Structure 1
Amino acid sequence: MKIGIVGPADRAMAWESHLRPHKSVSEVIITSKLKDIGNVDACLLLDDSDKRLAHLLEAVKQGYHCFLVSPLPTDRQKIQKIYHAAEESNVLLQFSHWPTLAPASKWMSKKVAKPSLIQIIREINHSEFYDSDHDFSHYWINELAFCMRWINGAVHHIDLKTVSFSGDHLYMLHLFLRFNSGATANIYINAASTEYNHHRVAADKNYMLDCNVREQKVRLAEQKNNQKRLYVNRQTFDASKSAELASMEFLKSIQLNRATIYNGYHLVELTKTIEKVKKRLART
């Protein structure tokens, strides 16, 4: 396969290093503009700009399988347009939702394919939050996307509670989700904490998983022979491998003509739920 990478040269070269080792890749073309990419089978768009969805739609219309490496877009109308265009053109889409693509997350999803419960606690040091380029919604949307992708079902019920003071600034959110399957997810975000804490817990009938997200450490607990004691297996993963694994997933999907790990359908469903959550937030 010939793969094109569209984006800044320094970032493109880093992604090229992830693609080159794959036997299926015969050539990698790097360019700053989509129009100069030439005849390729697929392309990586390294695009953080406000026009990234317009660039993605253009690439889809040209028939390229696309991996958009960017902050997760949430414009529902534009995403639906791209999704339908990709479906009509038989083009694969992959989006860089890093919580889903992280090595620890991938291992967890293999152990527990469909969790019946997810609980997420994310506490952010307030000074770090204040200095960050991300607004509060960035944090809960990322965790919402993670829960929806893993449980892989429609949200049936939403309940939430927030803490805010004057103005529109949120500092704390507790979001409860119930899915059509009966699975539930709790998301707690606190942007006024003194210390950083980011844990994801998930369970089904056989296993309980506890992930320290920053350290990419996972505890898997299981019961044996109906004993009270739980047996624990500990795993540690390298977060720096996320981009390499994401590129491998994209190439495998093209080779096998299967849906990508985080695709247009997942993003469309996410944006529908984001709109529902935002309507609830507007009433609080």
Structure 2
Amino acid sequence: MNWYTYIKDYQSYLRIERGLSKNTIENYSFDIERLCVFLETNQIEVSPVKIKEETLQDFIYAVAKEVNPRSQARIISGLKSFFNYLVFEDYRIDNPLELVESPKTGRKLPDTLSVEEIDRLIEAIDLSSNEGERNRAMMETLYGCGLRVSELIALKISDLFFDEGFIKVTGKGNKERFVPIGMQTQHYIELYRKTVRIHQTIKKGAEDTLFLNRRGNQLTRAMIFTIIKDLASKINLNKNISPHTLRHSFATHLLENGADLRSIQLMLGHESITTTEIYVHLDRRFLKDIVNNFHPRK
């Protein structure tokens, strides 16, 4: 078996047994393919089963000249996962990266927007076009429910439970969760459905997809990024934002207004509470308020 055969088997494992998304699998695969290019460039002929720690260290040193510590850490983590898979499948008896440490990267705080900035973005949407009503409904949903962009474009009409005040969201690893949805967000979704979507010719297979492009098909991730970037440019917002910025803002504003981390974790669909804890670092006043409100010697 050559490298690409092992990679293909690994991709099947990630998709079927771990339930990872196509984007995540591509990211994992990219780092392994980068190692393959390094081996070919340096005329090193060795299989994944026989490669040793020294060769992998040489690759990591070479990568370190091209990328920042955060990217190095991601590459090392991805390769460790690949070799753990080979051990799991009995192709190898050890992981050659087991003792290799990732560089210290620190914790990067996510960018957020104020409520005023979010209002300005939404107010900048051109509502004279059909796409405008759709875009407003999407922006309200991203911010009002804290969705990932992949979750937004996959949202279905059958996932809307407005009578109960929830939507069903399919997140990473095809894990489902119910997220509360406010009346304002419900209003804009219904407005889009009843005034725009109802008049569209819908492609086969997209009948249940909530947000559609002008051809009646599911939107792409890139399209959502473009919409938000264009709105930021329109209001001269001097921040590098993306759909994820609205998700971060959702969590941050909830925390600032007194929501507990466990509730935010459930709504965001975070596997671990440590992922959600990053929002505590955004506003140190939250920690001070906890002591002032709950400690007996405040």
| TM bracket (short chain) | under 0.3
**TM-score, normalised to structure 2's length?**
0.25
More strand by share: 1
More helix by share: 2
Tell me which structure has the larger Cα radius of gyration.
2
**TM-score, normalised to structure 1's length?**
0.26
